[in-house]
Amino acid sequence: MFEIRRSAERGHANHGWLDSFHSFSFADYFDENHMQFGPLRVINEDVIAAGRGFGTHGHRDMEIVTYVLDGALSHRDSMGNGSTIRPGDVQRMSAGTGVMHSEFNASKEDPLHLLQIWILPKRRNDPPGYEEKRFTNEDKRGQLRLVASPDGRDGSVTIHSDASIHAGLFDGDERAEFAVPAGRRVYLHVARGALTVNGQTLEHGDAVMISDESKVTLTDGHAAEVLLFDLA
């Protein structure tokens, strides 16, 4: 299977201060054909107005990964964590038995552009946890850099799910190949720009769901930033 889902096919909600696109069913957007892909449950592309954000609210039994594209995110949670997440930072919050947190645009002038990703955990009722790590543009330039994995290998953040996330930046002649492990599936999301995936052109907001393929090849990037999910 090599199924492309174009950006315009995503769910969309504009609340004024929040402009959000949903790759999978979320809140008031429901699509029975796009509930999840393996353990990948949510990819929301959010643009948050200056000084606005999400007040204190709760989550449980979910691995939540935040990937900032532009701007700065101010985070506070009931575990005592408080930080500002910027482009290059990858934040992982394991909700487990329950956690309260708030997220706000740290700038009073500029919008915040980010991806919020939810992945179903392997187990329910684990203790909540938090982690963040930084990956520079050089780390991701012309390659797929592992940024999240079940075992935290290669300096990635640890997610408690049978899933891994790779991030890459591609332009011009830069290319990368990902060998799909037997029995696995891949979801690739184009966060910005455009590139060619297995001969098919994808642009900002597009995604492709891949199974029963041995290899994913990325070429012909035009200021492209991508996330590749290796999933059970």
- Give tens-digit pLDDT for 63-75: 999 999 999 999 9
Q: Is 27 exposed, middle or buried (0-12, 13-18, 19+ CB in 10 A)?
A: exposed
What is the spatial order of strands in the sheet that 53-59 belongs to?
A: 53-59, 99-105, 73-77, 82-85
HSE at residue 99, side-chain half, CA atoms within 13 A, is 24
Q: Are 65 and 130 in contact (CB under 8 A)?
A: no
Q: State whether CATH 2.60.120.10 applies to domain 2-231.
A: yes
CB count, 10 Å around CB of 97? 12
CA-CA distance, 74 to 60, in Å (whole number)?
20
Instruction: Per-residue pLDDT tens, the chain, 232 aa: give them.
Output: 999 999 999 999 999 999 999 999 999 999 999 999 999 999 999 999 999 999 999 999 999 999 999 999 999 999 999 999 999 999 999 999 999 999 999 999 999 999 999 999 999 999 999 999 999 999 999 999 999 999 999 999 999 999 999 999 999 999 999 999 999 999 999 999 999 999 999 999 999 999 999 999 999 999 999 999 999 9
CB count, 10 Å around CB of 168? 25
**Where along the chain do its domains lie?**
2-231
